[in-house]
Amino acid sequence: MINAWYACLIEIRNQTGNQTGVNLVDKLPKDFIHFTLDSVVQKYDCETIKHKFPQALEVSEDILNIKLDDFTRCEEYKTFRGKYEMEFVVTMIQLILQDSSNSKKYIKDKIKFTFGEKLSNEQAISLFSVYAETPETLNDYLALLHSKDS
What is the secondary structure of 130-142 as a DSSP string? TTPPPPHHHHHHH
Q: How many angstroms separate the CA atoms of 8 and 61, rounded? A: 11
Q: Is the pLDDT of residue 12 over 90?
A: yes
Domain boundary among the residues 21, 55, 79 is at 79
- Structural domain range at position 33: 2-79
Domain boundary among the residues 54, 79, 104 is at 79
Q: Encode pLDDT of 17-75 as tens digits.
A: 999 988 776 556 778 888 889 998 999 999 999 999 999 999 999 999 999 999 999 98
Query: In terms of domains, do 43 and 96 share one?
Result: no
Query: In terms of domains, do 22 and 62 share one?
Result: yes
Query: In terms of domains, do 108 and 128 share one?
Result: yes
Query: In terms of domains, do 92 and 57 share one?
Result: no
Q: Are 29 and 45 in contact (CB under 8 A)?
A: no
Query: In terms of domains, do 96 and 63 share one?
Result: no
Query: In terms of domains, do 111 and 64 share one?
Result: no
Domain boundary among the residues 24, 45, 79 is at 79
Query: In terms of domains, do 73 and 101 share one?
Result: no
- For helices 121-129 and 83-101, give the axis angle rounded to 10 degrees: 70
What's the predicted TM-score (pTM) here?
A: 0.69
Q: What is the CA radius of gyration of the chain?
A: 20
Burial 49-86, CB ≥16 within 10 A → b, else e: beeebeebbebeeeebeebeeeeeeeeeeeeeeeebeb
